[in-house]
Amino acid sequence: MIRGNNEPFSNFNSKLRFRTKSSKQYDVLPKHVKDAAFKYVNNSKGIRSPAGPHHFLLCIVISVIFYTVLAILEKSLPEPVTITNEHNYPDRFVAERARNHLVKLTSMGPRPVGSKENEILAVKLFLDEIKTIITQADPSHKVEWDLQRVSGAFSLQFLDGMTNVYRNVQNIVVKIGPVQTSRHSLLINCHFDSVVDSPGASDDGASCAIMLELLRVISRLKVPLKNNIIFLFNGAEENMMQASHGFITQHQWASSIRAFINMEACGAGGKEILFQVGPNHPWLLEAYSDAVPYPLASSMAQEIFQSGIIPGDTDYRIFRDFGRVSGLDFAWSANGYVYHTKSDTVDKIPLGTFQRTGDNMLPLILKLVNSVQISDVEKYSTGNLVFFDFLGIFIVHWSEVLSDIINISVIIISLLVILYNASHTHVTGFSVKDYFKSCFKCSSLIVLIWLATLFTIAILSLIVVLLDRCLSWFAQPAWLLFLYITPTILVPMVLLVLFGRKFLWGKKGTHYPQSLMYCISRDGNQLLFIMILLLCVLLRIRSGFAVALFVTCNTISIILHNTILNNNYGYKVLWLHWGCMLVPFMLSAYMIQAALLLVVPIMGRSGSGNHAESVMSLITSAMFTLVFSFYNPLVLLLQKAYTVFSSLAVVLFVSFLVLVFTPLGFPYSGDPDNLAPQRFMIAHVERSFYSYNGSLRDHQNGLWIVNLDVNSPHSVVRHAPELMNARQITQDECNKELYCGLPYFIPVITFIWKTHWIDTKPLDVDIPLSLNLTYRDYRLNNVQRLSFSAIGPDHITFTLSLYDDIKLKDWSFSSGEPLKGPQWNGRPTYFVYYSCANDIIPWDFWIDIEVPKTHVGPQIEVGLSGHRMHGPHQYTPELKKLFNQLPQWTTTTGWASSYKSYTL
DSSP letters spanning 170-182: EEEEEEEEESS--
Stated as kind and residue range, the H or E segment containing 751 is none
Rounded Cα distance, 572 and 557, in Å: 12
Angle at CA of residue 587, ends 327 and 447, nearest 5°: 105
Residue among 119, 129, 213, 237 flagged as catalytic: 237
Amino acid of residue 704: W
- C-alpha distances (whole Å) from 60 to each of 55, 115, 489, 523, 606 are 9, 54, 9, 22, 32
Decide: 275 and 299 in contact? Cβ < 8 Å: no
Return d(Cα 567, Cα 562) in angstroms, integer: 5
Whether the CB-CB separation of 177 and 272 falls below 8 Å is answered with no
Distance separating alpha carbons of residues 272 and 355, to the nearest angstrom: 11
| Residues 51 and 638 sit within 8 Å (Cβ to Cβ) | yes
- The rounded distance, in Å, linking the Cα atoms of 168 and 840 is 9
Q: 119 catalytic, yes or no?
A: no
Q: Nearest 5 degrees, angle CA 606-CA 610-CA 614? A: 105
Pairing relationship of beta strands 807-811 and 162-178 according to DSSP bridges = unpaired
Sign of CA dihedral 264, 270, 271, 273: negative
Amino acid at 637: L
In this structure, what DSSP letter does residue 815 have?
S
Centre a 10 Å sphere on the Cβ of residue 15 and count the other Cβ atoms it contains.
Answer: 20
Task: Give the whole-angstrom CA distance, residue 318 versus residue 245.
Answer: 6
Gap between the Cα atoms of 319 and 232, Å rounded: 12
Amino acid letter for position 851: V
Q: How far lies 40's CA from each of 15, 161, 428, in Å?
A: 9, 71, 19
Which runs of consecutive H residues, i.e. helices, occur in 629-672? 641-661
Classify the C-alpha dihedral 591-593-596-597 as positive or negative.
negative
Which contiguous run of DSSP H or E holds residue 259? strand 257-265
Q: How do 185-191 and 257-265 pair as beta strands?
A: parallel
- Helix or strand run (H / E) with residue 209: helix 206-219
801: Cα within 13 Å, side-chain hemisphere: 23
Q: Which residues of 588-598 are buried (b: 16+ CB within 10 A; e: fewer)?
A: bbbbbbbbbbb
CB atoms < 10 A from the CB of 139, how many?
A: 8
**447 vs 451: CA distance, rounded Å:** 6
Instruction: Report helix angle 582-603 to 571-580, nearest 10.
Output: 60
Phi-psi region of 828 (alpha: psi -120 to 50; beta: other; left: phi over 0): beta
Calculate the alpha carbon distances from 869 to 557, 872, 883 in Å: 60, 10, 16
* Residue at 888: amino acid letter: Q
Q: At what angle do helices 53-73 and 641-661 cross, to 10 degrees?
A: 50
One-letter amino acid for residue 573 of the chain: V
Which DSSP letter does residue 323 get?
A: S
Do the beta carbons of residue 639 and residue 53 sit within 8 Å?
yes
Give, in order, the Cα–Cα distances in Å from 354 to each of 129, 315, 330, 359, 407.
Answer: 18, 21, 13, 8, 38
Annotated catalytic residues are 237
